[in-house]
Amino acid sequence: MQAYAWAAQDHGARILQHTPALGIAMAGGRAVGVRTADGVIGCDQLVIAAGPQSDRLARDAGLDLPLAPARAEMIVTEALPLMPLGGVDGNGLYGRQTLRGNLAYGGGWHEWLDAVPADNPLPRPSTPTIRPLARRLAELFPKAAHARVIRSWAGIVENTPDGRPVLDRPADPGNVTVATMSSVGFGLSPATGRALRDIVVEGRCTFADLGKLSLARFRDLDPDWRRRQGWFTPAAAPAREEMPA
């Protein structure tokens, strides 16, 4: 992430850290700026790429972006002998072994959330999520079940109803591009950046057909889609995954 930020600055980008986007300023049916605590930052074109807060900002522009934010966590074990394969996915987990031998894995049970406010503090790891994650990892690698978890971190990811990204500039308001990656943004970020550049500058992606990633595919979405998919918020969720003794 830091390397991308440096590269953007090398090409003239100005990065404002600790400056939450509180909303979108509209005038004449178009986006004219982003509202922050320090005032409005004007714009001719606007890209909404705010992860789990993208739906909130999209509503300011009159766009309905269906998202379900979820708390996700990662754990890192103590170093182990290197395996023949660096990355092994399974048992609902994803991750890899580092060159030092640590197993770094995430996945498993997610804590589904309601809307994420602009001033939401950084989430901290929680025992109810880490314990099932560690158990799944021990099931995936039985010979590593003895390994101690030495680090963990948490974050909030956004998920679309079909799990696919949204890359689209709707005709109305016309100067707002929506970009949400449904929690798979790191791997797709190089191509996504190029596609967004094309959409903003050229009006369309010049190297791929993004029709299946448009907002229009959710036009007839059931309003109760989250519950139908079992993506409950903590208050409405059934019993959590059984914890180990």
Predicted pLDDT of residue 243:
41
Residue 118 has pLDDT above 80, yes or no: no
Across the range 73-81, mean pLDDT stands at 96
CATH no. for residue 122? 3.30.9.10
Q: Of 231, 186, 204, nearest to 67 (Cα)?
A: 231
Please tell me the total count of domains within the chain: 2
Instruction: Judge whether 177 and 48 are in contact, CB under 8 Å.
Output: yes
Q: Which of 114, 133, 159 is the last residue of a domain?
A: 159
* pLDDT above 90 coverage of the chain, percent: 69
Predicted pLDDT of residue 238:
52
Domain around 205: 2-67+161-228
| Confidence grade of residue 245 (pLDDT, cut at 50, 70, 90) | very low
Predicted pLDDT of residue 11:
93
Pinpoint the alpha helices (H) of 154-203: 185-202
* pLDDT above 70 coverage of the chain, percent: 91
CA–CA dist 63, 40 (Å, integer): 20
Query: Quick check: is 234 in a domain?
Result: no
| Confidence grade of residue 133 (pLDDT, cut at 50, 70, 90) | very high
Q: Where are the beta strands (DSSP E) in the chain?
A: 23-27, 30-36, 39-42, 46-48, 68-77, 93-97, 103-107, 111-112, 149-159, 166-168, 176-180
Query: Quick check: is 23 in a domain?
Result: yes
Instruction: Judge whether 178 and 170 are in contact, CB under 8 Å.
Output: yes
CA–CA dist 136, 243 (Å, integer): 11
Predicted pLDDT of residue 220:
96
Examine the domain organization and report whether 169 and 52 are in the same domain: yes
Examine the domain organization and report whether 174 and 117 are in the same domain: no
Examine the domain organization and report whether 153 and 168 are in the same domain: no
CATH no. for residue 62? 3.50.50.60
Q: Which of 144, 159, 174 is the last residue of a domain?
A: 159
Across the range 157-176, mean pLDDT stands at 96
CB count in 10 Å sphere of residue 87: 11
Amino acid at 16: L
Examine the domain organization and report whether 79 and 54 are in the same domain: no
Query: Quick check: is 242 in a domain?
Result: no
CA–CA dist 94, 16 (Å, integer): 32
Between 178 and 231, the more confident residue is: 178
Examine the domain organization and report whether 142 and 212 are in the same domain: no
Q: Of 54, 95, 88, 44, nearest to 74 (Cα)?
A: 95
Examine the domain organization and report whether 72 and 155 are in the same domain: yes
Across the range 166-175, mean pLDDT stands at 97
Examine the domain organization and report whether 20 and 130 are in the same domain: no
Examine the domain organization and report whether 95 and 149 are in the same domain: yes
pTM, entire model: 0.85
Predicted pLDDT of residue 242:
47
Query: Quick check: is 233 in a domain?
Result: no
Examine the domain organization and report whether 142 and 165 are in the same domain: no
| Confidence grade of residue 218 (pLDDT, cut at 50, 70, 90) | very high
Instruction: Say how many CA atoms lie within 13 Å of 209 toward its Cβ.
Output: 2
Instruction: Judge whether 180 and 174 are in contact, CB under 8 Å.
Output: no
